[in-house]
Structure formats: structure tokens, C-alpha cells
Amino acid sequence: MNVVGVDACPTGWVGVTLEDGRFADAHVASGLTELLADVPTAVLVGIDMPLGLLETGRRRADVLAVAMLAPHRSRVFPVPPRAVWQEPDYAAANLRSRQLTGSGLSRQSWGLAAKLREANERRDGGDHRLHEVHPEVSFATMNDGTPVAWGKKSWNGQSLRRRLLGDQGITLPDDLGAAGRVPSDDLLDAAAAAWTARRIALGTAGTLPDPPETTSTGPPVAIWY
């Protein structure tokens, strides 16, 4: 059984494929459709990107993820309603977020707008293999429920995350070809997303919340882990 974990990276998207729970390959592409075309046999895709945008209010998934990762609250960004992401630029999106939620939108969050739309359009278009994951929630789950204390860009943080993956049978090789040019934290996040994708496929994953919320059109709104 093949599954793939996907994370956004500076050049587009990076994916890690597992075959029967073991590392099989790594992929990088500028577009999500292009990346997934490289893994046609994947039965499930875990993606580190919010899937499912509400019409009003905050997503319970984000609130619960913050609680699970405390005190590292900054590792989760609150996802505002759909209308915010439909705005043409940051200034308009920030204003709409304040109108709808009482809080502004960070520039870092707005930087994900194009990729967020791309992922949601693909799932809403019928690719129901896509499931939202949050790598830090996945790593905390691997770590017996304790969030990783070290930041994901630090040596200590990356070493510990790599060890946690290894304890789950996922060993990333030293040479990943073209994907090896992607920042290490993005590759580790993609591998954690693949670990969760396999758990979803096996029916052993949990969700935040449980049961998931749903959008106005029906797809679930949840972080899987």
C-alpha cells in the first residue's frame, strides 16, 4: 500500500512516499497536481495545508491543535473563514478577517493563500484522497503525546524528529536527489504527513475534532493524526 505525505516548500510542494510503511521515494514539483501525478498509485494523501473553510467563525480543529501543542501555540495558525481567502490581496484579507473574526491575518498566513486555494480546489474537485494533517500534531503523537520541545529548524529539533520517524520505521536516506534541495524541515514535515496518511488508510488515525466538523458543501474539516 502506497501513501504520500505532502508539504509546501519554497519551490512549490514536496512529497514523501511510503510503501507498506517504509520510505519509498521523495518528490518535488511546482504544482500539487504535478506532484500527485508522480504518485498515481497512492491510496491516500496527507497534506500539511488547511482543508475545509468555514463560512463563519474559527475551526475547532485549530483550537484543539493549539491545546494539544501547548505551550507551542505559535505552531498553529488560526484559519479564518472562506471569504478571507477569496480577497485579492493581503490588505483586503486582513480587513475581512478582522470583520469576520475580530482578529487580523498575519502576513505569514496570507503567504500560504495560493497553495491553500490550490489544495482545497483539488479536494473539492473530487480528489478525496487528500486529508489535512499537522506535522507537529503527528510528531507529538509519535512522542507519546508530548510536543517536540525544540523548533523544527534547529539541529536538536530536526535530529529528534528524524529519530521519531525512525522509531516508526521511516528512515530518510541521506541522498534524496532533487528533493534533497528542499529545506530539511519541509521534508521532515512531509514524512510525518505520510506517517499519518498510512494511519488514516489503516483506520487507526485520530481527528481533531472527533467527529470532524463539515463545510457547507459537506467535506470534513479536521486535522488527522
The residue whose grid cell reads 489535512 is 132
HSE-up of residue 13 (Cα within 13 Å, Cβ side):
27
Q: What is the pLDDT of residue 218?
A: 75
Whether 32 has a pLDDT exceeding 80, the answer reads yes
Closest Cα partner for 17 from 222, 201, 220?
Answer: 201
What pLDDT band is residue 181 in, cutting at 50, 70 and 90? very high
Question: How far is C-alpha 43 from the geometric centre of its chain's CA atoms?
Answer: 17
Report whether 193 contacts 46 (CB < 8 A): yes
Domain boundaries, the chain: 2-51+127-207, 60-126
Tell which residue, 68, 112, 55, 73, has the closest CA to residue 207.
68
Measuring CA to CA, which residue among 23, 3, 19 is closest to residue 179? Answer: 23
Cα separation, 219 vs 136, whole angstroms: 23
Q: Which pLDDT belongs to residue 153? A: 97
Task: Specify the pLDDT at position 216.
Answer: 75
Q: What is the CATH number of domain 2-51+127-207?
A: 3.30.420
| H-assigned helices in 70-131 | 82-85, 90-101, 107-110, 113-124
